[in-house]
């Protein structure tokens, strides 16, 4: 049964998703990638969003390294690396959020996420090509990002006296993602130390009453449930956390943590699934209060992409049939709502009822990343199970 999924995901990836981005995203004139693409690939914003530049570099290089060594994919990765190296950083080595099409700085965000995906792109491209300078840059950037997350003032974000020191689930995830890649490739025990600390950090976000990961918890453990961010649950984020946790635990096994991961996957699907109109909600308040996010009830592509891979992984690890039941449900919703059979690639944004809210295939938050990553990781997991 999983074979049929693998075959379909492979076709979607190779015949529809990758061609869409190769055809429309590459800026052969100024370098880098357009990501704001309408349904048919028309560019509706020519700016270069740095985290999506890094993500696309990572994806093209990973496809080259793990799916097939196609020159076209490596050339596409190089287009992004060259742009990032030439224009992406300020004098202090911090990564801009966005640049003009030509590479002039447009916006700097006081957050570490642009740097995270530049780091991942540089490292993966270094692995694909053996470019040692790229690998070294990526390693150095990793440690800077760890420092930026610990000390947001380094990015110019003031710490004000009314703030509680918190752990953002997103920060744990991105550190885990980066450290996983580094630990697998480099003979340096510090990365497994980071991974073990990240597992512990993620587990502090676990809410056993709701069986999900909370987005924000206090470093000192104090109760934040009087604040919306302390009650915030993102089904897609919990599900993404689950598979990253499972990958981290594959290196440093911990049966209890693995059980939390599986419980959270079931919990996020059960709580996050819209029983009225199907699909996963974007945000929820765990106490049933309104969220501050207007778009909370919308159905976005990426939680569904994350769920497909998390469910494939859970099944290949456990062979428990209930994961297949969920996979079938999520896969059906995804392929009837997000996948565009005409122009390839997935749409990103449906309203609660599943009607398309935007025709875009990419934007400043959606690029060449979640969809191809989920498809690649899923078919790789299925292949590994078969072997």
What angle is formed at CA 23 by the lines to CA 372 and CA 346, rounded to 5 degrees? 40
Q: Are 1 and 53 a contacting pair, CB within 8 Å? A: no
Q: What is the C-alpha to C-alpha distance for residues 188 and 205, in angstroms, rounded to an integer?
A: 27
Exactly one of 163, 209, 321, 387 binds a second copy (CB under 8 A); that residue is: 163
Copy the structure tokens of residue 297: 């009830």
User: Which of left, alpha, beta for 221 (phi over 0: left; psi -120 to 50: alpha)?
Assistant: left
Question: 13 or 350, CB closer to a second copy?
Answer: 350
Query: What x/- string results for residues 100 through 139 when contact with a second copy is judged by CB under 8 A?
Result: x-x-xxxxx-------------------------------
Does the protein bind a second copy through residue 359 (CB under 8 A)?
A: yes
Q: Are 245 and 200 a contacting pair, CB within 8 Å? A: no
Torsion from C-alpha of 32, 34, 35, 39, nearest 10 degrees: -150
What angle is formed at CA 348 by the lines to CA 343 and CA 351, rounded to 5 degrees? 120
Enumerate residues 279-298 that contact a second copy by CB under 8 A: 285, 287, 289-292, 294-298
In the complex, what is the shortest distance from the CB of residue 360 to a second copy, in angstroms, rounded to a whole number? 4
Exactly one of 22, 317, 339, 357 binds a second copy (CB under 8 A); that residue is: 357
Query: What x/- string results for residues 227 through 266 when contact with a second copy is judged by CB under 8 A?
Result: xx--------------------------------------
Number of chain residues interacting with a second copy (CB under 8 A)? 47
The backbone torsions φ and ψ at residue 233, rounded to the nearest 5 degrees and listed phi first, read -130, 125
Enumerate residues 362-381 that contact a second copy by CB under 8 A: 363-364
Question: 107 or 143, CB closer to a second copy?
Answer: 107
Q: Are 216 and 238 a contacting pair, CB within 8 Å? A: no
Q: What is the C-alpha to C-alpha distance for residues 369 and 346, in angstroms, rounded to an integer?
A: 11
Question: 152 or 251, CB closer to a second copy?
Answer: 152
The backbone torsions φ and ψ at residue 109, rounded to the nearest 5 degrees and listed phi first, read -100, 140
Enumerate residues 13-52 that contact a second copy by CB under 8 A: 36, 38, 42, 44-47
Binding site residues, a second copy, CB under 8 A: 36, 38, 42, 44-47, 96, 99-100, 102, 104-108, 156, 158, 160-163, 226-228, 285, 287, 289-292, 294-298, 349, 351-353, 355, 357-360, 363-364
């Amino acid at each position: 049964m999983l074979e049929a999924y693998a075959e379909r995901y492979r076709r979607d990836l190779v015949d529809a998703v990758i061609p869409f981005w190769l055809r429309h995203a590459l800026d052969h004139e100024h370098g880098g990638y357009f990501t704001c693409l309408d349904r048919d690939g028309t560019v509706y914003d020519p700016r270069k969003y740095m985290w999506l530049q890094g993500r696309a570099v990572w994806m093209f290089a990973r496809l080259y390294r793990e799916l097939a060594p196609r020159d076209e994919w490596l050339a596409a990765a190089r287009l992004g690396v060259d742009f990032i190296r030439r224009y992406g950083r300020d004098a202090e080595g911090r990564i801009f959020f966005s640049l003009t099409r030509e590479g002039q700085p447009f916006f700097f965000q006081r957050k570490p996420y642009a740097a995270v995906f530049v780091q991942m792109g540089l490292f993966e491209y270094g692995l694909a090509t053996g470019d040692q300078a790229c690998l070294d840059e990526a390693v150095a950037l990793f440690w800077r990002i760890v420092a930026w997350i610990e000390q947001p003032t380094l990015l110019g974000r003031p710490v004000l006296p009314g703030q509680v020191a918190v752990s953002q689930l997103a920060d744990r995830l991105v550190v885990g993602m980066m450290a996983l890649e580094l630990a697998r490739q480099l003979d340096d025990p510090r990365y497994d130390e980071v991974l073990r600390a990240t597992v512990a950090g993620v587990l502090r976000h676990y809410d056993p009453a709701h069986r999900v990961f909370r987005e924000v918890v206090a470093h000192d453990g104090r109760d934040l449930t009087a604040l919306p961010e302390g009650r915030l649950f993102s089904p897609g984020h919990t599900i993404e956390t689950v598979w990253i946790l499972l990958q981290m635990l594959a290196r440093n096994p911990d049966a209890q943590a693995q059980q939390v991961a599986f419980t959270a996957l079931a919990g996020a699907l059960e709580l996050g699934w819209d029983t009225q109109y199907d699909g996963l909600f974007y945000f929820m308040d765990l106490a049933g209060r309104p969220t501050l996010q207007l778009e909370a009830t919308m159905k976005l592509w990426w939680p569904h992409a994350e769920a497909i891979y998390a469910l494939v992984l859970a099944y290949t690890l456990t062979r428990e049939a209930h994961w297949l039941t969920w996979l079938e449900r999520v896969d059906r919703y995804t392929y009837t709502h997000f996948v565009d059979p005409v122009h390839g690639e997935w749409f990103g944004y449906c309203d609660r009822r599943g009607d398309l809210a935007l025709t875009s295939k990419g934007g400043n938050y959606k690029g060449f990343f979640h969809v191809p990553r989920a498809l690649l990781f899923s078919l790789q997991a299925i292949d590994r199970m078969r072997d």
